[in-house]
Amino acid sequence: MDQVNSLPTIQKERITNLDTVRGFATLGILGMNALMFGLVKPAYNNVNAPGTDNLLDWVFAIFGEIFIDQKTMALFSMLFGAGIVLFADRVESKGQKPIRISLWRNLLLAGIGFLHAMLWEGDILMVYGFCAPFLLLLRKRSIRFLVSSGILLFLLSIGLGLATQISVNEDNALLGDYWVGVAPMGDEVSLWFLFDVFSRALGAMLIGVALYRSGFIAGKSDHSTYKKGVIWGLSVGVSLATFGVIIQAIMDYESNVAIIGQLPNTVGTIPMAIGYVSLIAIWDRKPLSEFKVRIRSIGQMALTNYLTQTIIGVLFFATIFDKGDLGRSGIALFIFCVWALQIGWSKSWLTHFRFGPAEWIWRSMTYRSIQPLRRNKSL
């Protein structure tokens, strides 16, 4: 591999808005993943599961359901779609073949995800690696096609969710550890759950490609567009997510609303993610601050931070607390502490190095040569 063509993106070439969005998404994803680290499995989907024992637990549970659940994954997926296009475009501009190197790069990502899954079952990197070929094939299609395809995948997941809920109503045991039990999910629920994860991820990725092609997710749209995105996206998204929470509460978290109670949240995920992107883009245009630099630094080493969140969480709940010892408010305190660590170390690391450790390994394996890691202050 030509060493010149594999040089890293220097600071002045970075799209800072992508780094900022990625930084917030990286912090936000811990808001849901930490539930799997520290609570029983049903707590991830069922706010009434063990771990919600007092008023403060309920506040964190409902806040997470409305503002974090599915939305941070959607942001990550949109960014991954944008990243696929950005990487392929840059490779192509250097006279190389983007498909071949991109497929190899994302096969490596799936491999990293496989190793990550051996530590923790909630890995999403394998899903992203497997979705990459579809994005590469479709990345040059029209914005309308990309958005329509993304929405269709969400609708298919919702339709299958409705059908699965009907089958579950005939045998509540099928829900297994998705909702209340300790037994694994039944085949019908497992099929829907797997399809839901892949379809929402790929759907958001396709929409992310469209948003990148339009300049929206890169922070290139005008202020009025982002202002509308905030108002429309958050009003629609929050309303739908809240509606889902209300449905489940009114039905006292019975099994017959386990899946359909999640569907309004699914419908509202993309509008709310667009609202978040818009809000972040507006903030990113404000004068540079120390906090903004730190958030961007988290985004620049998102893979490292994502993996270290898991390492910290798994070790913490294996050595200090057992799973289920802390309620949601205790989990929230854990999240805040990890956030503080990552806000602190990301900027410090990138002061001296071009990439996070995981990013450097991934890049070196992608180009099959050791990449420069120490930062050249002139860049």
> SS3 letters for 256-321?
HHCCCCCHHHHHHHHHHHHHHHHHHHHHHCCCCCHHHHHHHHHHHCHHHHHHHHHHHHHHHHHHCC
The pLDDT assigned to 106 comes to 97
Contact 309, 338 (CB under 8 A): yes
Contact 207, 81 (CB under 8 A): yes
The pLDDT assigned to 377 comes to 59
46 φ, ψ to 5°?
-110, 110
Q: Crossing angle, helix 263-284 and helix 71-93, to 10 degrees?
A: 60
Maximum separation of any 2 CA atoms in the chain, in Å: 67
Type of residue found at 242: T
Tell me the domain boundaries of the chain.
Answer: 4-367
**Cβ density class 45-75: b for 16+ within 10 Å, e for less:** bbbbbebbeeeebbebbbebbbbbbbbbbbb
| Of 277, 263, 271, the residue nearest 147 (C-alpha) | 271
Write out residues in the chain with pLDDT < 70, as ranges. 1-14, 377-379
The pLDDT assigned to 379 comes to 45
The pLDDT assigned to 13 comes to 55
The pLDDT assigned to 7 comes to 45
145 φ, ψ to 5°?
-65, -45
